[in-house]
């Protein structure tokens, strides 16, 4: 799948759409999800043009991958949900492709926490 430069996160990275940033560095941007599903719901995205987790894993440089994983951990800590820094826990989700119900075709992690999140999956209902 080729990268679509018109996807909404590409527009956010170009500054064409506002966002509520919680962390930014050379390789990563993290911002509040516009439709929060938990008290903490932050999206972590690489600045590089990667469509999905598998694209990122296969094609990102080591430096980008390290920066990305460290940033996701930092977000969890900064949001107060990381167990290693006294938080009560969180979940990271990466939706990929049709069956993964990925809506925005720019790789992102959802960092969710701040409440009991229940079991990981229910039977697919929609």
Verify binding: residue 97, ligand AMP, rule CB under 6 A: no
Verify binding: residue 23, ligand AMP, rule CB under 6 A: no
**Which ranges of the chain does DSSP label H, i.e. alpha helix?**
8-13, 53-59, 62-78
What distance in Å separates the CA atoms of residue 23 and residue 87, rounded to the nearest whole number? 18
Measured from the CB atom, is 61 or 99 closer to ligand AMP? 99
Measured from the CB atom, is 32 or 65 closer to ligand AMP? 32
Question: Which residue among 33, 53, 87, 92 contacts ligand AMP (CB under 6 A)?
Answer: 33
Instruction: Quickly count: other Cβ atoms within 10 Å of residue 6's Cβ.
Output: 7
Measured from the CB atom, is 103 or 125 closer to ligand AMP? 103
């Amino acid at each position: 799948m080729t990268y679509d430069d018109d996807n909404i996160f590409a527009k956010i990275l170009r500054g064409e759409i506002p966002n509520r940033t919680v962390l930014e560095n050379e390789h990563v941007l993290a911002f509040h999800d516009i439709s929060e599903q938990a008290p903490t719901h932050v999206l972590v995205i690489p600045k590089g043009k990667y469509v999905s987790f598998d694209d990122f894993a296969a094609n990102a440089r080591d430096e980008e991958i390290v920066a990305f994983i460290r940033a996701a951990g930092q977000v969890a800590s900064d949001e107060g949900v990381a167990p290693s820094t006294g938080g009560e826990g969180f979940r990271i989700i990466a939706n990929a492709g049709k069956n993964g119900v990925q809506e925005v075709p720019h790789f992102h992690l959802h960092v969710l926490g701040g409440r009991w999140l229940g079991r990981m999956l229910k039977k697919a209902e929609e």
